[in-house]
Structure formats: structure tokens, C-alpha cells
Amino acid sequence: MCGIAGILSLTPDARVEAAELRTMAAQLVHRGPDDEGFYVDPQGRCGLAFRRLSIIDLSTGHQPLSNEDGTLWVSFNGEIYNYRELRTDLEARGHHFGTNSDTESIVHACEEFGPGCFEKLTGMFAVALWDEKRGELLLGCDPFGKKPLVYAEFQGRLYFASEAKAILALPGVPRRIDPQSLHRYLVFQYVPAPHAIYEGFAKLEPGCFLRIPAGRPVDVTSTRYFELRPDQPGRFTGSREDAKQRLGTLLRDAVARRLISDVPLGAFLSGGVDSSIVVGLMRRLGVSPLRTYSIGFADPRYDESAAARRVARHFQTEHHERMVTPDIHKLLPQLAWHFDEPFADSSAIPTYYVSRWAREGVTVALTGDGGDEAFAGYDRYRAAALAARFNAVPRVLRRVIRGLASAVPHRRPKSFGNRLYRFAAQLAVNGAQRYLGWINIFPLELLAALYRAEFRERLDFDEPLRWLSQRFEAIDGGDAERANFADVHSYLPFDLLTKVDRASMARSLECRCPLLDPQIMRFAWSLPYEWRLGPRGGKSILKEWAADLLPPEIPRRPKMGFGVPVGDWFRGELQEELRQNLLAPDSLCRRLFDPPRLAAMVESHISGRANYEHPLWALLMLEHWGRQWGAHLP
């Protein structure tokens, strides 16, 4: 894993200098502490920077790297798991290789296939390719957004990097907050690509590439090369037993590909089905020693450490476990720095800690991420299927049901009453609007009440709903499958994978996600949806296949998620942290929200009269981010 950065001149007089590239690379040392490299086009049209975390071909994997005649250069972040097969094919076509690294396969694939090279790559990647002959820059990201790439255009140049901080380090780069992206963040808990929190910045979407000529201003528009759809050609037509057999082969192959490494590797183990399957296959494939890492909480509602220990014993792993405590005051500014943008998924905390602890023993960790999106694992898909049955019920009766549910005690997170209330609260609406009501951090009606009038006037208030609706309604099918599809194109890349990348790279740890192998995802989405979301819940066919691999109680365990008890922490150890940041006279929150209503929300939560844990966490991380980066609202 690595960090990349670069500059492309869009005007004849905006020559790229090596010193600028060094400034950018210095901000990415955590992504690549082992080596650095730079390239500047002889005419000053383009420059590439690289920071390396050595994983494969430790001695000759230096970048930027070129083809034989030095006319095509690459800087690359990630891993290509099929590089050996790709190399064999390219050598048969007449290409000559000088290293054993996966990077060289990219540059020769680009020579052979042009932008079509991205379709040939199996792995996780953000790639920058500079063609001296054409005077053209090619940027591309992997199909699901495992590796990030952000870019910005100003002063006659296009800047790009693995993280925005590399661009922000350059003199004269503005740090103006885009109000609409701030609104998106408060709704979703992340800023979805292609948008970015800063004006003038953008993020490359998963499965897309940019093709940009040097020397002249351009309209930067991405091209999609990968798309996952349930109506794709090749729908599975075999029996359920055939499907399980095929699934087993794909899972084994995906894990095996991700064991290629010249450094120690291990796995994150939560005790859930997905990470347990990955660990079990690592054991079957002969990984030794098999090191596993997990975290726990004192609150049993959030703690899965006992299940993780059970799996570790079953597979005889070298297991490491530590506890997360509310003493996180010093961590919050660090998270704000590493994420570049405001990011409100509180599970970034345990992800950061488990990455830090794992890095003490390994450089690569396999994870179970992606299993829920591939095999319909989230409880909200069951909720969507159940709620759809109420669509024929008159809305007035649905409102009555909502009122009855609100009478049940529901302020304690993860309680039955809380789940019932959240489910019933959205029964009066349908489709994407209902789904947004379940997943948003700030309910739109709460934002409408809190926003200052002058800030709301700057917003397209309903745009986040339209954005989600486009993804929800992009396929035919029931509400559960549509919600699942929307997650693949929103929550998965912009929340889950962003969290894993930033939190692990903060500790120079490479995370690999076998269940997000494109072959597995395509196969899963070719199956009848009821094989994934069965009568007893999600991952139906996956759990059936895993019955012979896992301890019998693991597939039967209810899904817990990777949550953090921040609501309780706000009433205890983080109470003053909350007040001092959100209610300070110079807080960003006071510019967005009506101060008395904001203060009332804070005190209502602290007193236990209401539960605003998710909105308050989003605001706390917003404040830390704003202070860390000196971002300002124009």
C-alpha cells in the first residue's frame, strides 16, 4: 500500500516543479513510510510523487516506474492480485519486464490496452499514468472504491493525491467549505463522491477513470468502466447446491490471492460470519502463524470479543485482543487529520485501534468487509422487505402505528424499543425516502428546525434524497434489493471503505477485503435475491456454505455491527468535550444552527430526555475537523 500524488499543467506556462511534489509527498508518509520517488516530465507538463509501504518485491518495487523506453510512467497505490497472470499474457504479447512487482504489470497493460487496462486488473488501486508521447494523464480507481483519489483544479493546474492533505499542503490552496457538501455530510455522515467538502475539490468515483490532456483547460469528466447490476448478463441458473459449490471456489480463490505478500500478514476477527470465514479459509490454506486481532467494549451491547475468542480457538490462531475505553480525547484530532473531511462513522475509533495494535505484529491484515453488501447481511434489508408490506395500508393508519410505537421506551440504543421506533417512524413514507429515514444521521426534519435561515437558503435541501433515490431506483426489484444496491453505491465506498483505508493507513497497515473480489460480487448479485436474504435473515446461502467451516453457533448469532457507545460516553466521560466544542462562541456549529436549539439538543441528550448520539457525534467530528484544517464557511 502506498500514497501517490501529482500535478498536471493545464496551461503552457504552469511548469511543474519537483519541490512541489516533495511537499505533497511529505503529507503521505504514513501511507508509505519505507520509500519515496519522484518523476517530472522533461517539459514540465506533469509530475508524479510516490510514498511506499513495501509489501511485494521489497527490493525492486520502487516508483514511479516506466516502460522500457521511459515514455509511459505510473504511480500506483494498492495491490494487483492477478499481476502474475496478467504478466504472462503481456509477455506473450511481446512486453518485457524488469521487476517482479505488480506495478509493472499496470504500465504494460496500459501500453497494450489503453484505458481498457483497468478492466484487466483484479485488486484495489488508485493509479496515475502519464503518457509522454500523447501528453496525457490517466487516473483510475478500483471497482468498489477501496483506494481513494482526490483532485482539484486551480491556478492552471490539476492536482491529485491519495488524500486531500497532500494538495492542501501547497501554498495558496483555499480551504473554503462547500455548503452543499456540508449538508450532505450531516445527512449521510460522509461526503459522497464525486463531491468533496472543499470548494474546487472532487473525488474520483469507484470504477471510473479520468483522461486528461496536458497544456489546455479541460472539462474534467469521468468515464465508468465497471458497473455491478443484478440484471447483468450471466444470471445464475443452476441449483442452490451448484451455487454453494461455486461460491466456495470463489471464496477460497479470493482469499488465496490476497495471501501474496513478502511481509507478515494476519486478519481482523470480530466473531461475525464474514471475518470468521476469512480466518477459516486462511487456516485451510495453510497460513502459519495465523495472527488474528479483535477489540472489545465493556458494554455488552457492543462487545463481540467472546465470539472472536471462540473462532480463534476453533482455528487455533495466535489471537490478540484489547479493549476500547471512552478515553479518546487525544484521538479525535488525529482522526480529523487522517480523514481530511468530516467523517461521522464512530466505528472509525475501533478500526483505528485494531489497526494500531495489529501493526505491532503484521503489515497486512485481511478483513471481512463487503460480505454484508454482497450477501444482504444488514438488518435494514429485512426491515425494508417487511415495511414494503405496509405500502398498501392507508397512510393514516401507518401514522397511527407510528404513534403507538413511539409510546414504547426507545431511547436506549440497540434495544427492541429503539429498533421498533426507528422502523415505525418511516412507515408513513415509501421507497428511498423511507430508506433515507433509517440510515441518515440527522433526520431532515431535525436539520430543517436547526439550520439558521441564512444557511438553509444556500442549500438545495432535498438534494441528498434525490441523490439516494437515483441509486435506490436504478434497478427493478423489491425495496430490500434496492436498498442493498444503493448501499453498494453509497455506504460501501464512501463510509465503510473510506473508514478502513484511512484508519489502517494511519498506522501504515494494509487491509485486504477478499469478499469484495469482483468475481464474488458479480456472482452474489447474479443469484436470486431470496438466496441472499432468506426467511431467517441475510447471508442465507453464505451461512449454509459456511456451516462446515465455522463453529456451529457463529452463523446463528444475531448481527451486532461495529458500533461504539458514544451516546453513553456523551453522558459521562465526553460530556464536557461535547459542550466545549459544540457550544463554543467560535464553533462552526453556531454558524450553521440556531444556538438556543443547538444547546437544547446537547442538554436533552446529556440529561437522558432524548437520544441524539449520532447527530452529536457528527457535530463533534465536524468541529474537530474544522479546527484541524482551518476550514471556513464562505
Work out the angle at residue 214's Cα, subtended by the Cα atoms of residues 209 and 216, and round it to the nearest 5 degrees: 110
Under DSSP, the state recorded for 205 is P
Residue 419 pLDDT > 90? no
Radius of gyration of the chain (CA): 24
Q: Which amino acid is at 92?
A: A
Write down the pLDDT at residue 562. 73
The average pLDDT across 503-510 equals 96
Write down the pLDDT at residue 486. 97
The average pLDDT across 509-520 equals 97
Judge residue 170's burial from the number of C-beta atoms within 10 Å of its C-beta, 0-12 exposed, 13-18 middle, 19 or more buried.
middle
Q: Are 294 and 555 in contact (CB under 8 A)?
A: no
Write down the pLDDT at residue 558. 81
d(CA 432, CA 434): 5
Comparing C-alpha atoms, which of 29, 26, 35 is closest to residue 55? 35
Residue 72 pLDDT > 90? yes
Phi, psi torsion values for 287, nearest 5 degrees? -65, 125
Under DSSP, the state recorded for 632 is B
Residue in this structure with the C-alpha cell 504479447, named with its chain if needed: 93
Write down the pLDDT at residue 414. 64
Taken in order of first residue, the domains within the chain and their CATH numbers are 2-224 (3.60.20.10), 240-324+341-375+493-556 (3.40.50.620), 565-634 (no CATH)
Residue 407 pLDDT > 70? no
Q: Are 31 and 505 in contact (CB under 8 A)?
A: yes
Please, what is the average pLDDT of the chain? 92
Write down the pLDDT at residue 405. 62
Q: What is the DSSP string of 468-492?
A: HHHHHTTS-S-HHHHHHHHHHTTHI
The average pLDDT across 453-474 equals 96
Q: Are 76 and 38 in contact (CB under 8 A)?
A: no
Tens digit of pLDDT for each residue in 570-628? 999 999 999 999 999 999 999 999 999 999 999 999 999 999 999 999 999 999 999 99
The average pLDDT across 116-126 equals 97
Judge residue 61's burial from the number of C-beta atoms within 10 Å of its C-beta, 0-12 exposed, 13-18 middle, 19 or more buried.
buried
Q: What is the DSSP string of 513-577?
A: -GGG-HHHHHHHHHS-HHHHSBTTBS-HHHHHHHTTTS-THHHHSPP--S---HHHHHTTTTHHH
Write down the pLDDT at residue 397. 77
Write down the pLDDT at residue 357. 95
d(CA 106, CA 433): 42
Work out the angle at residue 370's Cα, subtended by the Cα atoms of residues 365 and 372, and round it to the nearest 5 degrees: 130
Name the band, by pLDDT with cuts 50, 70 and 90, for residue 60.
low
Write down the pLDDT at residue 409. 64
d(CA 98, CA 93): 16
Torsion over CA of 159, 622, 350 and 268, rounded to 10 degrees? -30
Comparing C-alpha atoms, which of 387, 466, 442, 439 is closest to residue 597? 442
Write down the pLDDT at residue 61. 63
Least confident of 15-24, 293-302, 525-534, 568-577: 293-302
Least confident of 10-24, 292-306, 526-540: 292-306
Name the band, by pLDDT with cuts 50, 70 and 90, for residue 327.
confident
Phi, psi torsion values for 488, nearest 5 degrees? -60, -30
Residue 113 pLDDT > 70? yes
> For residue 2, what is the enclosing H or E element?
strand 2-9
Tens digit of pLDDT for each residue in 527-558? 999 999 999 899 999 999 999 999 999 998 88
d(CA 241, CA 276): 22
Name the band, by pLDDT with cuts 50, 70 and 90, for residue 417.
low
Least confident of 55-69, 352-366, 602-616: 55-69
Judge residue 334's burial from the number of C-beta atoms within 10 Å of its C-beta, 0-12 exposed, 13-18 middle, 19 or more buried.
middle
Residue in this structure with the C-alpha cell 435475491, named with its chain if needed: 529
Write down the pLDDT at residue 216. 74
Whether omega for the bond prior to residue 143 falls within 30 degrees of 0, making it cis, is no
- Collapse the DSSP code of 46 into the 3-class scheme (helix H, G, I; strand E, B; otherwise coil) and give the result: strand
d(CA 101, CA 76): 11
State the CB neighbour count (10 A cutoff) for residue 499. 23
- Collapse the DSSP code of 266 into the 3-class scheme (helix H, G, I; strand E, B; otherwise coil) and give the result: strand
Q: Are 88 and 120 in contact (CB under 8 A)?
A: no
End-to-end alpha carbon distance in the chain = 36
Tens digit of pLDDT for each residue in 140-197? 999 999 999 999 999 899 999 999 999 999 999 999 999 999 999 999 999 999 999 9
Phi, psi torsion values for 375, nearest 5 degrees? -120, 25
- Collapse the DSSP code of 364 into the 3-class scheme (helix H, G, I; strand E, B; otherwise coil) and give the result: strand
- Look at the chain and count its residues: 634
d(CA 440, CA 618): 11
Grid cell, residue 525, equals 448479485
pTM of the model: 0.94
2 is an active site residue: yes
Tens digit of pLDDT for each residue in 303-318? 888 999 999 999 999 9
State the CB neighbour count (10 A cutoff) for residue 63. 28
**Distances 224 to 148, 210, 559 between C-alpha atoms, Å:** 16, 9, 34
Q: Are 522 and 119 in contact (CB under 8 A)?
A: no
d(CA 164, CA 167): 5
Write down the pLDDT at residue 596. 96
Q: How many CA atoms lie within 13 A of 430 on its CB side?
A: 10
Write down the pLDDT at residue 588. 96
The average pLDDT across 388-413 equals 71
Q: What is the DSSP string of 277-295?
A: HHHHHHHHTT-SS-EEEEE
Write down the pLDDT at residue 204. 98
Tell me how far apart the 2 most distant CA atoms of the chain are, in Å: 73
Write down the pLDDT at residue 57. 60
Mean pLDDT is highest, among 387-391, 405-409, 583-587, for: 583-587
Name the band, by pLDDT with cuts 50, 70 and 90, for residue 101.
confident
Looking at the DSSP bridge assignments, the partners of residue 322 are: 295
Listed in sequence order, the residues at least 6 apart from 114 whose beta carbon sits closer than 8 Å to its beta carbon are none
Name the band, by pLDDT with cuts 50, 70 and 90, for residue 56.
low
State the CB neighbour count (10 A cutoff) for residue 409. 11
The residue that leads in pLDDT, 206 or 383, is 206
The residue that leads in pLDDT, 401 or 174, is 174
Write down the pLDDT at residue 341. 98
d(CA 472, CA 11): 41
State the CB neighbour count (10 A cutoff) for residue 466. 10
Q: Which amino acid is at 634?
A: P
The residue that leads in pLDDT, 34 or 359, is 359
Indicate which residue of 2, 46, 110, 511 is catalytic: 2
